[in-house]
Chain A
Amino acid sequence: MERAVHDRGGTPTDAPIDRTEHELSDWELLTDALVGALGGEGLMNVDELRRGIESMPADEYERASYYERWLSSIETILTEKGVLAPGELDARLAR
């Protein structure tokens, strides 16, 4: 049975475990806190966060950093719920 992109237990890999660590940057903390704040407002729960992450195409999922996945999920879920209009954030960034 085919595995979803996030379902990694026992998947074949030769990659060594890279033990480099980094302190969370401001934008990563912000992303984390935003999910919490949205959760507090009843707009996004942890299961939706995970589902949003799991809906990423495999190559995007694998390329993205941890909090890039979170951000992708926030956008997916909020757009789904009509809190964000499609393309709205892109338009804002282009201003």
Chain B
Amino acid sequence: MNDHDHDHDHPHAPITNGSEPPAAARVRALEELLVERGVVSRDDVRRRIDWLVSRSPADGARLVARAWVDPEFKQRLLADARASALELGLDPGPSPVVVAVENTQAVHHLVVCTLCSCYPRALLGPPPDWYKSLPYRSRAVSDPRGVLTEFGVELDADVELRVLDSTADMRYLVIPRRPAGSEGMSEEDLAALVTRDAMIGVAQPGS
């Protein structure tokens, strides 16, 4: 903890919160330098930050809820998720291809990026730390059922588990199964059941 109970008559090092790593001051100094040199513009950086913080799983959930109530939309979503997102006025993000995959009675999907952290961020918000972690990246492909057990998901017997490793420009989003007993719910209420984790494949909706 700081013991700054004396007069501030000396210059401070770059402003950092005491709990930040050295990288914090480093990247701020880097931005300052690059802006000073006209390499990047501060406005552009700020706009990009604004976009990042605007992202959340709510957009993905809207896609799923619409697919649950509208079978023709679901087919369009499976054929071209990027176009379907635009259809609902959502931002599919800069990834050239977003692919929605459907969980059914017979198939459950689990998404990972073993090489880095590829993720449909525009529609789901930032990926959770565990998705980017070394243990998840290792075991989601080699021991996916063990991973699901760790996340509390028990698959019914005879369900085929399909793992998707996002190694190229495609970003994958899971359409989870509509929960039993949700008939008659409004689209808005259905969307509220769809969690980020369900759209990665490590949770069932409504749980």
- Hey, which chain B residues are within 8 Å of A31, CB to CB? 23, 27
Q: Contact string, B129-140, partner A, CB cutoff 8 A, digits 1/0?
A: 110111111110
Residues 1-39 of chain A, each 1 if its beta carbon lies under 8 Å from chain B, else 0: 000001111111101111111101111011111101110
Check A15–B141 contact: CB distance below 8 A. Answer: no
B52 near A22 with CB under 8 A, answer: no
Given contacts A15-B135, A17-B147, A74-B30, contact A33 B21 (CB under 8 A): no
Q: Are B129 and A37 in contact (CB under 8 A)?
A: no
Beta-carbon contact of A33 and B52 below 8 Å? yes
Contact, CB under 8 Å: A30 / B45: yes
Residue in B closest to A50 when the chains form the complex, CB atoms: B116
- Closest chain B residue to A75, Cβ basis: B30
Interface residues on B, range: 35 or more
- The proximity string for B residues 81-95 relative to A, scoring 1 for CB distances below 8 Å and 0 otherwise, is 000000000000000
Considering only CB atoms and an 8 Å cut-off, how many residues of chain A contact the other chain? 48
Contacts of A40 in B (CB 8 A): 40, 44
Pair B142/A38 contact, Cβ less than 8 Å: no
Please tell me which one of the listed residues B23, B46, B137 contacts residue A67 in the complex, with CB atoms under 8 A apart.
Answer: B23
> Given A15-B135, A21-B128, does the pair A10, B39 have CB atoms closer than 8 Å?
no
Set of chain A residues within 8 Å of B31, measured between Cβ atoms:
30, 34
Q: Which residues of B contact A (CB under 8 A)?
A: 14, 20-21, 23-34, 39-41, 44-46, 48-49, 52-53, 114-117, 126, 128-130, 132-139, 141-142, 147, 150-151, 165
